Chains A and B, each alone.
Chain A
Amino acid sequence: DAGVTQSPTHLIKTRGQQVTLRCSPKSGHDTVSWYQQALGQGPQFIFQYYEEEERQRGNFPDRFSGHQFPNYSSELNVNALLLGDSALYLCASSLAGTLRAEAFFGQGTRLTVV
């Protein structure tokens, strides 16, 4: 089982550009969540996708958008990048409708905006 895989692992972008990050969930999982983790902070919830729809959203601007595909994989898009968007972006997968539902996280994508 490959677990949760994210690509790319590292990325450098210029202010104002757009970026797309990708996530493949753990086998058998149908729910994907995205988190942003600034240096020295805990992960902050961005949004969650289930059945190809955004189900929950954290306190992030509309510049952050996402998509879930029929195979449950997901993309996170960030438009008009700001220096403050530099962070580790984590993807987590889980199985919907179960009380135990521990989330499995990927290793993350380190985004640097210059």
Chain B
Amino acid sequence: DAKTTQPNSMESNEEEPVHLPCNHSTISGTDYIHWYRQLPSQGPEYVIHGLTSNVNNRMASLAIAEDRKSSTLILHRATLRDAAVYYCILRDVSGISNFGNEKLTFGTGTRLTIIP
């Protein structure tokens, strides 16, 4: 499985933007970049995913480097509810077929602390 590298922890002030980095230097052409987050005492929650172009949704933005060897999850205005562990995951879709989807390989993620 292609691996990702994330900082163990980050802090940010409430109502300020947060940039969470992820390195994936061994990414292959069929790897999608997925981000999930896990709030305390809950299961992981999908945040966003992309392949090559930058992506935006109601939760966050995903900026992908031109060589795809790194990406950044951007929370535009952090709230206390965004305090969580954020996981950057590469998902290989080359085996996608009519049966099942590829597994998600989680690392240890980045623990984001929001300072009021």
Contacts and interface: CB of A to CB of B under 8 A. Distances in A.
Contact of A43 (B41, B42, B106): B106
Contact of B44 (A90, A96, A100): A90
Contacts, number: 76
Contact of A97 (B44, B98, B109): B98
A41 to B, nearest CB: 6
Nearest to A106: B43
Interface residues of A toward B: which range? 35 or more
Interface in A39-68: 40-45, 48-51, 53, 55-56, 58
Nearest to A41: B108
A55 B96 contact: no
B99 A55 contact: yes
Contact of B100 (A48, A58, A100, A105): A48
Interface of B: 32, 34, 41-46, 49, 85, 87, 93, 96-109
Interface of A: 4, 31, 33, 35, 40-45, 48-51, 53, 55-56, 58, 90, 92, 94-108
